[in-house]
Amino acid sequence: MRCKNCGIEISDDEIFCNDCKLELKQVTSREELRELKELIEEQKKINDLEDTKELVTLDNLEAKNNSALENEDIKIDEEIDKPIKEEVKVDELFNNNQNIPPKKDNKKLIIIISILAFIIVLLVILLIFFLNPKEEKKDDPNNIDYELILNTYGDDIKSLTENFITENKKVPTFDEIDALLNQTEVYCDIHEIYEDGNIYLSSCKVDGKSIENTYGKKQEVQTFEKLTIYKSTSNAGDEYNVNGGEEVGTVTCKTGSCVHYASYKTYSIIKEDGEFYIYNYETDSLVFGPFELVNDVVLDNDLYAVLYKKDGIQNMYSLTSFKELKNIDGIISNSSNESIMYKYGYIVLKNNDKYNFINLKTGNISYSITCASLKEFIEDKNNNIVYIKANTSNDKFQMYNSNGKLLFDGVELNDFKLYSDKIVISYNNIYKTYDLKLNLKLTGTIIDTYEKVLVILNNNKLQLLNKSDQVLVTFNDNLSNYKYKKDLSGYKTYNDKSGLYLNFVNESLDINSEDYTLMYYYIEETSENGVIKNTVKNDDENLDSNTGDQDNNL
């Protein structure tokens, strides 16, 4: 019998020789044992082929080998279970048998596996870092870049500020810049604009959400003098001043030198270092300036505009439209500060004999009127300007509508009245009425006027009107051949009736004619009226002259 490991002759009841058994005891793992058993199995087959002396059948050989292997396995397992005191390399296990392959290098394998594991872990970490999205900002599910939005907003403001300073030679207020922006997404509670054109924004919100981002760098700003504006409580009237009264606001001056010029219902004009500025003292904000003041246009303590000079040319700044009306020197006389302001959104500025109506909202000249002077503006019941009355140089009057259209020209004016349904004009004892569309309704001659009654001839018929130009009574007689006797007319008592008596005489008739005299009367208390004919020239027996009370104004 040969050793199944080394092939040397051994006894029939052995499988391995003693040397091989010793080596097998030093095997460090069952895995190596299994590998060794496979090699032994192959070596056994080789030995069986070489052993021609012993003939066995295939069944006997298999049974014998199986029995022997089982017994040997038990023995090997028992030996392996014992503690191994010395580590033996695989190569040394098979050095004595060239038919057994050398043992694998476990340390190299472990190093290679460790390196591969490290590379795999590193690749996983890199994949997680690059493929996973960045951590979302806290409380921001939409991951909005608020810093970018605020920076874009700040860049727009800074660009507008730089352009404003270049064009206007002054630092704008934030309200002036905000009016040029076309956005409502961003709002900041703190917005500072500096002399060098830089800005600082903080305490901002984007679409109503507060953000911590800021824009620009905050600069130290010098604190200047503050003026407190008061509304006077004295008997002098509602004058606005800095001397005391009811406090209505403050003005923080632009420079260190701050002199109060004048204050009105909302605005103050302040002189600083020889130049003028307009402030809104209710919001403590600069409105306009610097400028060289020519005149302030005020009505009822409201400041509507200022006339100012720039580079020697007169301009106007409107506090209705907040616009500079430039190069209007040609429509304003430098030698005259006369201006008329009224509540219809116009300022009327005179240049020599021309009055220019300037719309304070648009800054345009709506129309001009050439005359010696503007006397008054006639309003309708809705307080809208309807007509403008002007006097010419030759003491005649002109009438214009509110669009500057000439309506009447070249007649002397005694009176002009506007009613809800008509217009009445009287001049040189001529009496005319028009409807509101300026259609002539009546032309008459004024023959007398009393305290409560106006007497006219309308188409040769006597007509009495009250002071509101309403007709009291119209007499139908044709008085074309009659002459009004003013000295015989007036308030009298006749036949116990007191009233207004008006005498007319037709001198072409015989004195005794029934129609020689006509005496018309009107009793104001009862509105009774009539005519008395056939009065004799010297017949005064029924007339109580002591009650006469005339008020002849013509």
- Preceding amide of 290 cis, omega within 30: yes
pTM listed for this prediction: 0.41
Phi and psi torsions of 376, nearest 5°: -165, 165
- Tokens 């000249």 map to which residue? 365
Q: What is the residue type of 139?
A: D
215: its two tokens: 């824009």
pLDDT of residue 362: 73
DSSP states of 443-502 as a string? EEEEEEE-SS-EEEEETTEEEEE-TTS-EEEE-----TT-EEEEEEEEEEEETTEEEEEE
Instruction: Look at residue 482 in the predicted model and tell me its pLDDT.
Output: 94
Taking the C-alpha atoms of residue 44 and residue 161, their distance in angstroms, rounded to an integer, is 101
Looking at residue 342, its pLDDT comes to 60
DSSP category for residue 311:
T
Q: Could you tell me the CA-to-CA distances from 136 to 124, 126, 140, 212, 222 in Å, in that order? A: 22, 19, 7, 16, 42
Q: What share of the chain is helix, strand, coil (3-state, %, to 5)?
A: 20, 35, 40
- As a whole number of Å, the end-to-end CA separation of the chain is 175
442 contacts 464 by C-beta, under 8 angstroms: no
Q: Give the pLDDT confidence score for residue 43 in this predicted structure.
A: 65
Using alpha carbons only, give the angle 466, 469, 473 rounded to the nearest 5 degrees.
55
Backbone φ and ψ for 259, nearest 5 degrees, come out as -120, 125
In the numeric block, the tokens 């080789």 are attached to 46
**Of 411, 396, 415, residue with least CA distance to 554:** 415
Q: What is the DSSP string of 168-183?
A: HSSPPPHHHHHTT---
CA nearest to 22, candidates 74, 69, 88, 103: 88
**What is the rounded CA–CA span in Å between residue 428 and residue 436?**
23
Nearest to 450 by CA among 467, 438, 433: 467
On whether the CB atoms of residues 275 and 290 are closer than 8 A, the answer is yes
Sequence-distant (6+) residues with CB within 8 A of 52 are none
- Buried b / exposed e over 480-490, threshold 16 CB at 10 Å, is eebebeeebbb
Report yes or no: 535 and 509 within 8 Å, Cβ to Cβ. Answer: no
Distant-in-sequence contacts of 166-172, Cβ < 8 A, 24+ apart: 170/289, 170/290, 171/195, 171/197
Say what the pLDDT of residue 325 is.
77
Report the alpha-carbon distance of residue 521 to residue 510 in Å, rounded. Answer: 23
H or E element that contains 378: strand 373-379
Within 8 A by CB and 6+ apart from 472, the residues are 453, 464, 465, 466, 522, 527, 529
**Strand ranges of the sheet holding 186-193, from the earlier edge strand across to the other edge:** 186-193, 199-206, 209-210
Q: Which among 351, 395, 391 is positioned nearest to 375, based on CA atoms?
A: 391
Judged by DSSP in three states, 362 sits in coil
One digit per residue, the tens of pLDDT, for the chain of length 554 reads 777 778 778 777 777 788 777 776 665 455 566 666 776 676 666 666 655 444 444 444 444 445 544 555 545 455 444 443 343 443 444 444 444 455 545 677 888 888 888 898 888 888 787 766 555 445 555 678 889 999 999 999 999 988 888 888 778 888 888 888 887 789 898 888 887 888 999 999 998 889 999 999 988 766 678 899 999 877 655 689 998 889 999 998 877 678 999 999 999 999 988 899 999 999 999 999 999 998 888 877 888 888 888 777 878 888 888 888 775 655 554 444 455 656 667 777 777 777 888 877 776 778 888 877 776 677 766 666 667 777 776 667 777 777 778 777 766 666 777 777 888 888 788 898 888 777 888 889 999 999 889 999 999 999 999 988 899 999 999 999 999 999 999 999 988 899 999 999 998 988 888 889 999 999 999 999 999 987 654 454 454 443 333 333 32
C-beta separation of 391 from 373 below 8 A: yes
SS3 234: coil
Q: Contacts from 99-106 at CB under 8 Å and sequence distance 24+?
A: 99/39, 99/43, 99/46, 100/36, 100/39, 100/43, 101/39, 103/32
Q: Are strands 385-391 and 373-379 parallel, antiparallel or unpaired?
A: antiparallel
pLDDT reported for residue 132:
60
DSSP 546: G
